[in-house]
């Protein structure tokens, strides 16, 4: 069903607050979940509220965290998340990173001990809106085989990159390092359809086309995606002294304890490398040139990263709201906080 943006956000905020999150943290979290849904990243929107509510309610997200930004050098810092909600922690850490990058030219900021932070494209967009270039990487729970392996080791370890232009366009490249999200496999299961053999492997590590036999996901581009996953794990895990690789906490293992996840930002002020206005103008020209490239058969045109998400946002705006699955809407308007569905489940919430 179609739900008006402000209504959807309010419903999510109320639910998270009812579960125990502070009004400020519930507001920030609901805003980012809405940002994801309206860009078509439904895997990281309203669908997550019930899980977060269960975790908040059971104490696995600290609802009164002591966030602390600790500078460790002229351009480096650690943001201590105190196992608070990942969304407000990531927002606060990015605000500090933006200020540090403006002051020092570059900011490399590790965020330690947070809960899941959703679509990380949101955070790099914050920096791009300030005229800065930003990179974000974060850990997620192990469900992907390393290239050549038959057991899950890394998470879907996402990478996001944001950059401004001289016009209203913002580049937001935001992707998991897996071929497909687990949610897409669930969708195929429910439709009783096969999956391509490039998405996932079974217990023995063989590629499978049966969504019911999936034991782990595959990285993008074989060994290259596996290398990117490792890079993400080093930058947002080992570098920050946090659990890494297959030791990263599972999303659904024990909802009463904090997840100790890591995230890292690299924020760069273009003014320290070139004329900042020329940088933005060249970004705009580059997007114009890209989107003028002759389209291949089956394509209307070339899109720049973030363009399609923005077009989906505009389409939702034009139709007066965001499309939300009926069951999720029913849950959001109900009085229930959670249905005890996620605690002590396996990595696929089963």
* Bridge pairing between strands 76-84 and 106-114: parallel
| Least separation in angstroms between CB 140 and ligand NAI | 3
Q: Reply yes or no on whether 80 is catalytic.
A: no
- List of residues 6+ apart from 260 with CB closer than 8 A: 83, 112, 113, 242, 243, 249
Which of 25, 44, 80, 116 is catalytic? The answer is 116
In the bound state with ligand NAI, the residue whose beta carbon lies nearer, of 22 and 303, is 303
The residues with which 84 forms a beta bridge, in sequence order, are 62, 114
Q: Are 137 and 121 in contact (CB under 8 A)?
A: no
Q: Check binding of 67 to ligand NAI (CB under 6 A).
A: no
Q: Check binding of 165 to ligand NAI (CB under 6 A).
A: no
Reported as type and span, the H/E element at residue 134 is strand 133-138
The residues with which 107 forms a beta bridge, in sequence order, are 267
Q: Check binding of 219 to ligand NAI (CB under 6 A).
A: no
Q: Check binding of 69 to ligand NAI (CB under 6 A).
A: no
87 φ, ψ to 5°? -70, -60
Q: Out of 61, 132, 138, 240, which residue is the one contacting ligand NAI (CB under 6 A)?
A: 138
Number of residues that bind ligand NAI (CB under 6 A): 24
Q: Check binding of 173 to ligand NAI (CB under 6 A).
A: yes
Q: Out of 112, 208, 306, 310, which residue is the one contacting ligand NAI (CB under 6 A)?
A: 306
Supply 154's token pair: 């890394």
Burial (CB < 10 A; 0-12, 13-18, 19+), residue 1, is exposed
| Least separation in angstroms between CB 71 and ligand NAI | 25
Q: Out of 99, 150, 181, 238, which residue is the one contacting ligand NAI (CB under 6 A)?
A: 181
- List of residues 6+ apart from 51 with CB closer than 8 A: 251, 252, 341, 342, 349
Q: Out of 8, 46, 93, 120, which residue is the one contacting ligand NAI (CB under 6 A)?
A: 120
Q: Out of 27, 92, 125, 174, which residue is the one contacting ligand NAI (CB under 6 A)?
A: 174
In the bound state with ligand NAI, the residue whose beta carbon lies nearer, of 176 and 255, is 176
Tell me the CA distances in angstroms from 278 to 164, 241, 266, 267, 285, one per residue in order: 11, 39, 21, 19, 10
Q: Out of 3, 25, 41, 85, which residue is the one contacting ligand NAI (CB under 6 A)?
A: 41
Q: Out of 265, 305, 316, 347, which residue is the one contacting ligand NAI (CB under 6 A)?
A: 305
Reported as type and span, the H/E element at residue 268 is strand 261-268
Q: Check binding of 94 to ligand NAI (CB under 6 A).
A: no
Which has the closest alpha carbon to 67: 88, 98, 52?
88
User: Which are the catalytic amino acids?
Assistant: 116
* Contact positions vs ligand NAI (CB under 6 A): 41, 43-44, 116-121, 138, 140, 156, 158, 160, 173-176, 181, 303, 305-306, 308-309
């Amino acid at each position: 069903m179609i739900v008006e943006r402000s209504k959807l956000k309010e419903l999510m905020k109320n639910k998270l607050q009812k579960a125990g999150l502070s009004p400020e943290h519930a507001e920030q979290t609901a805003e980012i979940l809405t940002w994801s849904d309206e860009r078509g990243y439904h895997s990281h929107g309203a669908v997550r509220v019930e899980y977060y509510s269960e975790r908040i309610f059971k104490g696995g997200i600290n609802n009164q965290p002591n966030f602390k930004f600790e500078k460790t050098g002229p351009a480096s810092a650690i943001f201590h998340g105190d196992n608070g909600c990942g969304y407000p922690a990531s927002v606060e850490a990015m605000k500090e990173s933006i200020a540090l990058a403006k002051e020092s030219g570059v900011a490399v900021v590790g965020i330690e001990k947070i809960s899941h932070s959703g679509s990380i494209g949101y955070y790099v967009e914050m920096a791009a809106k300030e005229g800065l270039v930003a990179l974000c990487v974060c850990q997620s729970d192990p469900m992907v085989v390393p290239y050549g392996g038959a057991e899950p080791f890394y998470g879907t370890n996402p990478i996001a990159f944001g950059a401004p232009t001289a016009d209203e366009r913002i580049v937001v490249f935001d992707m998991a390092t897996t071929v497909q999200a687990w949610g897409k496999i669930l969708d195929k299961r429910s439709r009783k359809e096969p999956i391509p053999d490039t998405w996932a492997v079974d217990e023995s590590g063989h590629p499978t086309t049966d969504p019911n036999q999936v034991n782990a996901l595959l990285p993008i581009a074989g060994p290259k995606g596996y290398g990117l996953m490792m890079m993400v794990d080093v930058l947002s895990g080992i570098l920050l002294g946090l659990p890494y690789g297959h030791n990263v906490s599972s999303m659904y293992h024990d909802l009463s304890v904090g997840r100790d996840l890591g995230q890292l930002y690299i924020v760069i002020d273009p003014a320290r490398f070139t004329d900042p206005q020329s940088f933005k103008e060249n970004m705009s020209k580059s997007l114009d040139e890209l989107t003028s490239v002759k389209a291949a058969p089956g394509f209307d045109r070339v899109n720049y990263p973030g363009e399609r998400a923005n077009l989906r946002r505009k389409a939702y705006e034009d139709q007066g709201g965001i499309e939300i699955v009926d069951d999720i809407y029913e849950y959001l308007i109900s009085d229930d906080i959670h249905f005890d569905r996620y605690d002590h489940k396996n990595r696929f919430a089963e």
